A = this chain, B = another copy of it.
């Protein structure tokens, strides 16, 4: 007989969220690489993944309200799940702007940024996989910080270039916004990494 709730389920649910994010980031990168003709179907795929993510988070919050013993502080689980949700929202926001603004051709900087978002998603997945296996995860957090900084510099340079060469203010606003939505998504990955590091510090 079991008295304890199957508490380890929380780690599995967080990992599910990270897996969904990685799939969404793959679709984002594939869309950017394939160009405008294929962006819309990638966006539709991401919207479906976002709905799956919502179900996972709903399940997780429900359990959190019903479980007495949790493997981490309940508010840390809540915070990790919310921040993962923000990453998925960020990816969805970004691809929807890309679809809506139909910038032709998609600039190489946008493809590169989607690659960085994808790299962050891979590190998130590795970090939550490590969390579940009770393995070290710090190096994955550090990698996310490194990628975020790379995105930061890329966007700074790309926006400067935009102001130097783009004479159409509406196109400038569009591209600037796409860059910033993608960069913001890497910031949100870093937010997850920050909470994770904090959780590790607290529970070590």
Contacts and interface: CB of A to CB of B under 8 A. Distances in A.
Interface of A: 61, 64-65, 74-75, 78-79, 82, 93, 96, 100-101, 156, 159-160, 163, 167, 169-170, 172-174, 176, 194, 197-198, 200-202, 204
Nearest to A168: B169
B169 A74 contact: no
A95 to B, nearest CB: 11
Contact of A75 (B163, B173, B198): B198
Contacts of A93: 156
Contact of A96 (B75, B79, B82, B156): B156
A156 B93 CA distance: 8
A198 B78 contact: yes
A170 to B, nearest CB: 5
A44 to B, nearest CB: 15
Nearest to A194: B82
Given A100-B160, A101-B163, A160-B100, A74 B172 contact: no
Given A173-B173, A202-B74, A100 B163 contact: yes
A75 B203 CA distance: 11
A61 B78 CA distance: 24
Contacts of A197: 61, 78
